[in-house]
Amino acid sequence: MSDERTLDLLETKIEELRQLDSIDGIDLSGEIAKLETKLTSLRMELYSNLSDWERVKIARNPKRPYSLDYIESMFEGFYELHGDRMIGDDRALLTGLAQFKGRTVMLVAQQKGRSTEENQERFFGMTRPQGYRKAVRAMKMAERFGFPVITFVDTPGAYPGVESEEANIGGAIAESLLTMCQLKTPILSVVIGEGGSGGALAIALADRVLMLENAVYSVITPEGAAAILWKEKGKSAEAAAALNLTAEHLSELGLIDAVIAEPLGGAHKDFDQTIQALSGSLIGFLEDLESLDIEKLLSTRFERYRAIGRFRELEAPREEPLTEEPLTEETLSVEAARDADE
Amino acid sequence: MSIFKDKKYLRVNVDTVPDDSLWMKCKACGELIFKRRVRENNNVCPSCGEYFFLTVEERIEMLVDEDSFDNISKSIEASDPLEFADLKLYKDRVEQAQGVTGLPDAIVVGRATVHAIPVILGVMDFRFIGGSMGSVMGEQICHGMETAIHDRSPFILVSSSGGARLQEGLFSLMQMAKTTAVRAKLAEAGLPFISIMTYPTSGGVQASIASLGDVIIAERGAMIGFAGRRVIQYTIAQELPANYQTDQFAFEHGAIDRVVQRAQMREELASLLGFFVEVA
């Protein structure tokens, strides 16, 4: 099966032929049309049979649109807010105000870099404690003014270095989770590329969680899982498949709310189409959430997370009788989730 | 700070195979020691002061009034939602861990008293797949906090966990969100949450529930941190300071309130609880 690189190469060749065609007046249109048909069918074949590991590679493809690309095309007048007021300004996580279809929203977005220079500035998209603290600051501000929060998730994970630990990265993530649990304004999250573990969840505890078709979201990278569980880095493809990290799997498991379709070849092949699909989905969800009063919004958010988890009754009978518990709404929904599992 | 020693990492002495011998060898100092003496010394090496790992039963016995513990854990176990298999089947890993520990999963929650003050206590067991937090642990922690709200008791959680249960994929990651959501309810109810971090408190547990205590106490010898050494070396290959992610490191950088010797932990809890609870 061809890979993305071969297809890109073919695409370049077609482009070259087309230029030759126009310059020299030689008629190559028949050849071009043939190659284009071939390209489309190869791409169809590739993208209808993607393994989960190939999906991970697409999610990490540097040609993929990053948060700022979405922000510039879907929102108006992005006004960036800098700094956590404590340590500094994390360039791997951006916050700011913008207009979205007639309302002010607060954006919280993880941003990767494309050039080496930009990657150094943005720590390869790995968020540091000052990033999460800036996010908390921005979200609390959004709450004060009733602005909905929209977050864009795209990170390999939180930055694991010494300076992160010194500034208590774990505590910063926990604080962000707690803030989002209690935030009295709608929160929407979109995983646009890599949803890397706690570093991603820290800004993705939301009323609705969306994923682009080729995005991935996982408790650990396939490479990490391969190293820890298979004791062999070469087992990343197996690990990727076992982790159920694609949008399709996570939607089937009921862990996300919507999968945003991407054009054939990925979001970067037809960015306008991607924008339209995402924008349409976001506004639909946002209007739903805006119609709820705050109490209902928060109780629904609570129930959503309280119910997540799959387990079963212990097989062996316990020695002591269990204390009888009244069936609350939460335990019922947990049981519903479990029944669906069985 | 006299309670800190210049040590890098403290090893965890985890017996995965039951061992009936009367003697053991300390992995820190190499001394052959009589097991009963170790036991009487709160599982601390009588020769060099090395802390040994505590099982759930030992931890509970050390921490609460004698015979006061009533196990209220929900009667649930892991269901393998992803049918996960690496070198082993997840199902088999769970079964094996259940065999070694006699526990359904890596945590037990219950009612107990500390110097006659009623509390809800959750204790993790590192022997059970590294004390990892999957759906079962997440549910039990929430159940513990909800019982605390019901009883109007303080909630105490003793963490000993490498982080998320990888074999449950995103379900385990979401337990961070789930436990945090219920932790918020505990706060709304005005009940104290004391988080005790022991060896090790890391990954998803450290980056959620364990770091959200009103008061965070580290047991002397705890390892506290987000990303393990392996992850750091794999990701950025950075040189690490000698005391990296020790109790001392966390204390110096303001991540925790206090560091307490194991033998003093019950007294410490009792005096701390006294500020929140009216003692009859």
pLDDT in tens, B195-251: 999 999 999 999 999 999 999 999 999 999 998 777 777 777 777 888 889 999 999
Among residues B169, B178, B117, B176, which one has the least CA distance to residue B143? B178
**Does residue B160 register a pLDDT over 90?**
yes
Residue A328's pLDDT is what? 45
Across the A/B interface, how many CB contacts are shorter than 8 Å?
209
Test mutation, B226, B229, B245, chain A, max A CBs within 10 A = B226
Mean pLDDT score across all residues of chain B? 90
What are the tens digits of pLDDT across the range A26-63? 788 888 888 888 888 888 888 888 999 999 999 999 99
Residue A16 corresponds to which amino acid?
A: E
Q: Which two tokens stand for residue A278?
A: 């995402």
The residue-averaged pLDDT of A211-237 equals 94
Name residues 31-70 of chain B within 8 A of A (Cβ). Answer: none
Residue B237's pLDDT is what? 75
B9 in a structural domain: no
Residue B12's pLDDT is what? 46
Residue A120 corresponds to which amino acid?
A: Q
What's the ipTM? 0.91
Nearest to A230 among B87, B211, B249 (CB): B87
pTM: 0.89
B181 in a structural domain: yes
- Give the residue extent of every domain in chain A: 4-49, 58-291
Q: Which two tokens stand for residue A197?
A: 């573990």
CA-nearest residue to B162 within chain A is A228
**Does residue A253 register a pLDDT over 90?**
yes
State the pairing for strand pair B117-124/B107-114: antiparallel
Name residues 158-217 of chain B within 8 A of A (Cβ). Answer: 164, 166-178, 180-185, 202-204, 206-212
Residues A53, A55, A61, A64: what is their CA dihedral angle, to the nearest 10 degrees? Answer: -170
B22 in a structural domain: no
B19 pLDDT band, cuts 50/70/90, is low
What are the tens digits of pLDDT across the range A161-174? 899 999 999 999 99
Q: Which residues of A touch B104 (CB under 8 A)?
A: 314
Q: What is the DSSP letter of A125?
A: G
B6 pLDDT band, cuts 50/70/90, is very low
B12 in a structural domain: no
Domain encompassing residue B219: 54-276
Q: Which residues of A touch B211 (CB under 8 A)?
A: 168, 170-171, 173-175
Q: How many domains, in total, are found in chain B?
A: 1
B37 in a structural domain: no
Q: Is B243 on the interface with A (CB under 8 A)?
A: no
The 10 Å Cβ neighbour count of residue A270 is 14
Of A207-211, B9-13, B115-119, minimum mean pLDDT range? B9-13
DSSP H helices, chain A, are 4-24, 29-48, 52-60, 67-74, 116-121, 129-145, 162-166, 169-182, 197-201, 222-225, 236-243, 247-252, 271-290, 294-306, 329-341
A215 pLDDT band, cuts 50/70/90, is very high
Choose the CATH number for A58-291 among 3.40.190.10, 3.90.226.10, 3.30.230.10, 3.20.20.20.
Answer: 3.90.226.10
Nearest to B177 among A177, A239, A318 (CB): A177
B150 in a structural domain: yes
Q: Say which residues have a Cβ less than 8 Å from residue A320's Cβ, sequence separation at least 6.
A: B71
Residue B231's pLDDT is what? 72
